[in-house]
Each structure stands twice: as structure tokens, then as C-alpha cells.
Amino acid sequence: MSARTDPPPVLEVRDVTVRFAGLTALDGVSLTVAPGSVHALIGPNGAGKSTCFNVLSGLYRPAAGTVRLGDTELTRLPPHRVAGLGVARTFQNIVTTEGTVADNLMLGRHALSRAGFAASALRLPRAVREQRDHRERAREIAELVGLEGRFDTPVAALSYGDRKRVELARALCLEPRVLLLDEPVAGMNAAERARTAEVVRDVRARLGLSVLLVEHDMGLVMRLADEVTVLDFGRRIAHGTPEEVQRHPEVLRAYLGTGGSGEDAA
């Protein structure tokens, strides 16, 4: 699996505002994910990071502002349309189905199917060929994330870290141009975190995509991210390289003022 030669489109968020019953969860937030970059979205408890992800993936519609992927506006599109245009995501909590790793990854290929329900149900030759091709691609992606020996293993029998990688692989099975990772190493031990960081690097390099990640592990953020955007109480308070953000006085105030980075309530 080599990287795509064409760069992914720019993901551009401009002046996005989200309100819930009078509470402003995002207040005019802007950020740009450059093609092929790893961009981290960080902030203390309740900063609005998960709300931002829900806007980007089509789960929430903002009261104001726009989200664009290249020349295409995503702002009012439902989640399946956003995914079809090349934006895939994982979630904070593991979301897998019963069955094997292969079964879960094939769910990620479903949106790319062209054979149709009738052809698949009747097992027409073109549907059988397509299913075989999708399964082979799913196996390649399993290998990329380190699940090569567990393709036919029931998900329920996997370790926590491996189940998190199943969710990552399923998102990759959509063949995204932009990958949204919502706390990809949450709950992992040190060895699992290091392994996942390697996987994210490999995925970005070999598949030629952009990555936007929300993560509380600042060590991982500083190692992986090309750029960092910091939110606090729904507002963008800083943006820059990891080194610049670490020294930013508003960032230090936000984290020290809340006693550290807890779970994102937004």
C-alpha cells in the first residue's frame, strides 16, 4: 500500500459557532488542516474538541460558520455524505460490532460497494468479485495497523489496544483523504500508546492522507503533530507548532487554571 500521489484536499474550518440551549460550545472557531499534515486539536475539560469533531463529521450543524473540504462545503451535509466525500473518524469510546476483525472492517467497505443489494444477494459474478476485492483490501489495511494475525479473530477476544486498532482500521477502510482520530490512545498502556503512534505515522505516510486528532496525551501530540490548535471554553486561544503552543501563555493559563487535562465534556 503506497501513498497516493495526489495530495488530500485542505480541510478548512471558518468561524464555526455551535450553541446548545443558550450555551456556546464553539465560538467562532477557525482552523486549517494542511494537506498531508497531522494537526492536533487540544484543550482542557469542556473546551469543545468533541463538539468540533461532531461538526466536521456531520453529526452537528453549526449555528454559523463553514466547513470545507477542498472546493466542497460540508457544513450542512449528513454524516454518510461527509464520509463519502473522504472524511472518516473514530470515537472516544470503542465502537465495534460482534463478529471478527474482518467483519468489522468489511462494514467500513460497505459505503464503497457498487454491486447493489440484489446483485449481492443473488451472488452475481460482479458482486462476488467486488466482495473478494473489498476483503483483500480490508486485509491489507489490517496489516497496516498491526492486525495481520488477527483478521479472522473475534473482536471480543482481542485486547483493548487491538480493539482500538480495529476501529482505526475500519475508518481507513472508507479510503478517507482526511482521518479524524478522537483520543486514539485513551485507556492504553505505554507500550500500546507507542505502537499506536507508530501506526498513525505509517498511515499518514503510506496512505497519503491528512490527520486531525484530539488527544490528551501531550507527549504523543508533541511527537506526532505538525500543527496544534488549542481550544478553551469553545474559543481558539492558540495555534502554531507544538513548540510554540507549549510556550504560549494562554495555553499555560488554560491548563494550569483547570488543574490539567481531564476528559472532554463537550
Q: What is the pLDDT of residues 139-160, one digit of tens each?
A: 999 999 999 899 999 999 999 8
For 234-247, the pLDDT digits (tens) are 999 999 999 999 88
Q: Which CATH number does the domain housing residue 253 bear?
A: 3.40.50.300
Residue 222 lies in a domain: yes
What pLDDT, on the 0 to 100 scale, is given for residue 262? 40
Residue 52 placed within a domain: yes
Which cell numbers hold the place of 252? 499555560
Query: Domain for residue 249, yes or no?
Result: yes
Q: Which domain holds residue 20?
A: 1-86+176-266
Write down the pLDDT at residue 256. Answer: 60
Question: What is the three-class DSSP state of 137?
Answer: helix
Query: In this structure, are residues 236 and 203 in contact, taking their beta carbons and an 8 Å threshold?
Result: no
Q: How many domains does the chain have?
A: 1
- Cα separation, 64 vs 185, whole angstroms: 32
* 107 in a structural domain: no
Query: Hey, which bits of the chain come out as E strands?
Result: 11-20, 23-33, 38-42, 64-69, 72-73, 87-89, 178-182, 210-214, 227-232, 235-240
**Residue entry with cell 471554553:** 233
Does a structural domain hold residue 135? no
Residue 241 lies in a domain: yes
